[in-house]
Structure 1
């Protein structure tokens, strides 16, 4: 018998077996996976196999069966009556303490973006005097995100490398990626897979800023009524084309009831476990309990394949702090923005990618008429690029799915002879045809999920041989 205590936001999935559950596929759970890109709660591909829930202490017997499990942490909202200055001080002290403990005297490998999470880490690592090797990546033919990152690295005096995500890298690495993430996430989101071999050449351990954007912002609009909260959650987690895909698979498997009802009932059940009245804090808790461990953490496994990973925003103490800070202080990234402005004004003056061409000191001007010149010039650039026949790449799937070679590889998986026994081939053909002829953006998620299910199915069949 062994005891396992899971963190508030686990980095890894811990699988256990469930007694008296049939060793058969959990088709309903797979439909939820298809709709959102992550498995919900403790579900997996199998009914008899589950994942330990976040913030629990569980007993596992010597055969891997779950004996008991109870929560040691439950998300709550008990805001302290304090000033914004006090909240900022608490955040700053804890954030820097965690990074100090996590990095120690090792070199930090810092993926930089044009956003706030990694920028906050850059400021802290610089302030703490850590040695840092930083990098960024851009899509081939897309926005040169690394230009902003490079400016941040220069101000902080960090080493810096700019990587470019190449087209159709996925097909040479799909088996390795499937081994890394066990097909619990689709394959085009972790773009770092395209430069994994380069990342392995770096030295140190990763300092990753994942989940800062969720913890340090409002979870949702306050005052949403309970009957509307389910729909609000669905708008956040259901991917474009995800509902059509899930409903189609549900019907093809002749499952009892209908997918929409199952989705609604599951969401209501999970929301009832969160004893928080403030809707913004409740939505944040929902995301942190069910989305972070089963989607964000899955994709962290690619980083872990190169070097050890650390995540200051995943720390239990950070989650506890979030439960005690007023929503007004968390909303709109106020704490992170002020932390950067006070501790490194130069970094604060570098363009904020989400608010181009403005920065952390003047982003409030990102509205008409102040942003009109930039919008006009940006639109003209795109029109010129289009006239020259150059497609502006914004998403990784565009590099991995479009073009003749990509199509050949993709179709070899989607129309694999073994896959027809798992998912109805007429369903696959219909959605893939819509992707090619109707709306690539809308149907890119269904195609990506079908690819994931096909690879999982092939791996499962191979393991039985």
Structure 2
């Protein structure tokens, strides 16, 4: 027998065989369609499991999983220390973890207009490792790379910017399906559009994933223990993804009803988190579910190009979060205070509060933000009038236009896929998307595309 120990927040998913018949897990797929990620240890197959985080797993000599036992449980144990003390500990810990992870290697840093990568940039700017930063923006979209370039220039990093072109997905979709094994839908994986130049950069990649969840409220103050499950269902479940899941549940003639099944699954998962503080409890749920089954899936794309490091995924960072009061974690306070130690970095636009920055974002409200809102609306409308639709969402580059549509249909309406997913179900979602309901039907359409690639790669 052998034992495998998984971290609190693994940077890759590990799958194992179970002593069960090799059958498709239709119920799990319905949950995947509704949420965009699988729950708990579910996979596409009944005889396969995704190893739970923070656990010891025992295997027999044939590599079959025998048992799993948790070595870590999320908890809320806030210490009675001041905000300044917490800030000092946070900066020291982020610096220590980063130094240990990157060692003496050059660093590749994806930059955005947010706070996670900017926090990393501040730490890296004080180390001796050479840093190459990069960013990308949508064609005809908001030029977020301009914010990133200012951050890179301020920190003295080399910088590369890229434009994500329309239809790039079709050139890489089958490679992408092999990389992420179809455990995440494909339109969010913008890094695939720059995979080749990214793979040629020197060094290890430093990624800031999950900092935005760790350093913010887990849930609004209005959420109580009694309303956690309805809140999570509202946050997790995509409305039309749920509609598609119900149609598949009925088409596959599964026992019971999908809504009751999904709610029970969420209730069971929440009940295992023994934390009284609602905000901390929701954050723990998000981390053990969203981070592990969605965010981590997409890390596989970065790892296919470069070795990856993740300071916010480190066990010590997870333990640190458990020891900090919710009042200090709320509203990105620690990250903001850290970055404000470097006034020039803090004065660069914060994308979530554009055109304001970390020194004046409190003015992102009426009437102070009206001039920007009006100007931005006029700019978008002018762009549309000039035949250059303003791009705000990932799927717009992949699903809109005749060429995209033709390729999309070649996957959705193949004979083999229609044997797996009833053609009438696919046709319903596709037609709804085409009939001026694109925004709300983009998710189920993308999930169908993901299932089409799963079907193709597994020769169902």
TM more than 0.5: yes
1:223: Cα distance to partner?
Answer: 5.3
User: What does 1:295-374 align with in structure 2 at a 5 Å threshold?
Assistant: 295-342=294-341, 344-374=342-372
C-alpha separation in 2, matches of 1:10 and 1:399: 31
How big is each residue's C-alpha offset from its partner over 1:276-316, in whole Å with a ceiling of 9 and x where there is no partner? Answer: 01110011000110111110011011100111000000000
Which of 385, 397, 405 aligns to 2:383? It is: 385
Q: Which residue of 1 aligns with 2:394?
A: 396
Gaps of 5+ in 1: none
C-alpha separation in 2, matches of 1:371 and 1:172: 40
1:146: Cα distance to partner?
Answer: 0.2
User: What does 1:103-182 align with in structure 2 at a 5 Å threshold?
Assistant: 103-182=102-181
Q: Which residue of 2 aligns with 1:248?
A: 247
Secondary structure of residue in 2 paired with 1:358: coil
Secondary structure of residue in 2 paired with 1:320: helix
Stretch moving more, 315-324 or 247-256:
247-256
C-alpha separation in 1, matches of 2:245 and 2:47: 22
CA RMSD, Structure 1 to Structure 2 (Å): 1.0
How big is each residue's C-alpha offset from its partner over 1:389-431, in whole Å with a ceiling of 9 and x where there is no partner? Answer: 2210112211111111111110000001001121110000011
C-alpha separation in 1, matches of 2:39 and 2:242: 15
Indicate if the aligned counterparts of 1:186 and 1:449 stay in contact, CA closer than 8 A: yes
1:14 and 2:14 are equivalent in the alignment: yes
Indicate if the aligned counterparts of 1:355 and 1:366 stay in contact, CA closer than 8 A: yes
TM-score (norm 2): 0.99
Q: Which residue of 2 aligns with 1:281?
A: 280
Give structure 1 regions of 4+ aligned residues with deviation exceeding 3 angstroms. Answer: none
How big is each residue's C-alpha offset from its partner over 1:191-245, in whole Å with a ceiling of 9 and x where there is no partner? Answer: 1001101101111010000000000000002352333111110121112421111
Secondary structure of residue in 1 paired with 2:76: coil
C-alpha separation in 2, matches of 1:168 and 1:281: 40
TM-score (norm 1): 0.97
Aligned length: 460
Which of 400, 403, 406 aligns to 2:404? It is: 406
Indicate if the aligned counterparts of 1:222 and 1:278 stay in contact, CA closer than 8 A: no
C-alpha separation in 1, matches of 2:391 and 2:371: 23
Q: Which residue of 2 aligns with 1:203?
A: 202
Q: Which residue of 1 aligns with 2:265?
A: 266
Stretch moving more, 363-372 or 145-154:
363-372
1:377: Cα distance to partner?
Answer: 1.2
1:263: Cα distance to partner?
Answer: 0.7
C-alpha separation in 1, matches of 2:154 and 2:367: 31
User: What does 1:216-235 align with in structure 2 at a 5 Å threshold?
Assistant: 216-222=215-221, 224-235=223-234
Stretch moving more, 347-356 or 229-238:
229-238
Indicate if the aligned counterparts of 1:248 and 1:427 stay in contact, CA closer than 8 A: yes
C-alpha separation in 1, matches of 2:191 and 2:255: 40
Q: Which residue of 2 aligns with 1:40?
A: 39
Q: Which residue of 2 aligns with 1:449?
A: 447
C-alpha separation in 2, matches of 1:240 and 1:391: 26
C-alpha separation in 1, matches of 2:294 and 2:157: 30
C-alpha separation in 2, matches of 1:63 and 1:139: 47
Stretch moving more, 278-287 or 388-397:
388-397
C-alpha separation in 2, matches of 1:406 and 1:368: 39
Indicate if the aligned counterparts of 1:221 and 1:279 stay in contact, CA closer than 8 A: no
C-alpha separation in 1, matches of 2:133 and 2:261: 44
How big is each residue's C-alpha offset from its partner over 1:7-52, in whole Å with a ceiling of 9 and x where there is no partner? Answer: 1111111111122x22211111000000111111000001111011
How big is each residue's C-alpha offset from its partner over 1:300-359, in whole Å with a ceiling of 9 and x where there is no partner? Answer: 1110011100000000000000000000000000000000111x2110000000001110
Secondary structure of residue in 2 paired with 1:44: coil
Q: Which residue of 1 aligns with 2:427?
A: 429
C-alpha separation in 1, matches of 2:226 and 2:214: 24
C-alpha separation in 2, matches of 1:366 and 1:328: 22
Indicate if the aligned counterparts of 1:240 and 1:445 stay in contact, CA closer than 8 A: no
Secondary structure of residue in 2 paired with 1:432: helix
1:4 and 2:39 are equivalent in the alignment: no
Secondary structure of residue in 2 paired with 1:235: helix
C-alpha separation in 2, matches of 1:299 and 1:202: 20
